[in-house]
C-alpha cells in the first residue's frame, strides 16, 4: 500500500508548467527588443553614411573646380551637379538604397563672404565655395516599428581649391 502525499506546499513542485508559460510570455518581448536594436543600428548606419557622403562629395567637388587639371582628374573636370550625384551613388555602401527618390544629392556653388564679384560671374573658380546637401529617406523594415519615412540630411560646404 502506497501512501500518496500532497506536495502542493513543498518547494520545487508544480512549477514545470510555470516555466513554459513564462518563457512563452517573455520570448516575443525579447525577440522584439533584439530586432528593434538591429533596426536602430541600420538607422545609425544610414545616418553616418549621409554625414560622411556630404563631406566626401564636398571635398571631391572642391578639387574639381574651374581650373582643375584634366590630366590629373580623369573624370568631371570641372565637377557638375550630375557628377556629384554619381559620386555619392558610387560611394554608397551595401544596405543603402541608391534610387533617386531615396538618396537625393543637391550641389550648389555659393559665394563666400568677400568674394561677391568674381564668384557671381564664375562660381566654380578657386576661392569660391561649393555646398553639397545629401538627403536620405530612411524607412524601417519591421512591421511593429513606425511605418513613416525618416529624412536624414547633412550639408557640407568647402572652398574650391582648384
What is the tens place of the pLDDT at every residue in 139-162? 888 877 777 889 999 999 999 887
Looking at residue 37, what is its pLDDT?
92
Q: Give residue 87's Cα distance to chain centre.
A: 16
Mean pLDDT of 63-76: 76
pLDDT above 70 (res 8)? no
In terms of C-beta density within 10 A (0-12 exposed, 13-18 middle, 19 or more buried), how is residue 15 classed? exposed
**pLDDT level of residue 48 (50, 70, 90 thresholds):** very high
Q: For the chain, what percent of residues have pLDDT higher than 90?
A: 48
The three cell numbers of residue 38 are 538591429
What is the tens place of the pLDDT at every residue in 15-28? 567 888 889 999 99
Q: What order do you get walking across the sheet with 129-139 strand by strand?
A: 103-110, 129-139, 149-159
Tell me the average pLDDT of the chain. Answer: 85
Give the C-alpha separation, 160 to 59, whole Å: 9
Domain parsing of the chain, residue ranges: 17-159
Q: pTM, whole model, 2 decimals?
A: 0.78
Would you give the DSSP letter of residue 111? P
Do 103 and 138 touch, CB atoms closer than 8 A? no
pLDDT above 90 (res 108)? yes
Give the C-alpha separation, 120 to 140, whole Å: 43
Amino acid at each position: 500500500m502506497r501512501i500518496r502525499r500532497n506536495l502542493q506546499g513543498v518547494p520545487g513542485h508544480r512549477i514545470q508548467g510555470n516555466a513554459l508559460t513564462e518563457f512563452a510570455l517573455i520570448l516575443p518581448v525579447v525577440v522584439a527588443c533584439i530586432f528593434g536594436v538591429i533596426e536602430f543600428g541600420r538607422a545609425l548606419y544610414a545616418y553616418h553614411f549621409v554625414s560622411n557622403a556630404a563631406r566626401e562629395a564636398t571635398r571631391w567637388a572642391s578639387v574639381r573646380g574651374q581650373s582643375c587639371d584634366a590630366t590629373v582628374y580623369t573624370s568631371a573636370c570641372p565637377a557638375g551637379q550630375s557628377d556629384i550625384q554619381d559620386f555619392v551613388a558610387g560611394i554608397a555602401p551595401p544596405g543603402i538604397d541608391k534610387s533617386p527618390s531615396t538618396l537625393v544629392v543637391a550641389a550648389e556653388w555659393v559665394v563666400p563672404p568677400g568674394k561677391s564679384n568674381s564668384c557671381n560671374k564664375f562660381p566654380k573658380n578657386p576661392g569660391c565655395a561649393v555646398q553639397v546637401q545629401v538627403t536620405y529617406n530612411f524607412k524601417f523594415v519591421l512591421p511593429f516599428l513606425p511605418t513613416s519615412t525618416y529624412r536624414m540630411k547633412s550639408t557640407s560646404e568647402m572652398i574650391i581649391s582648384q
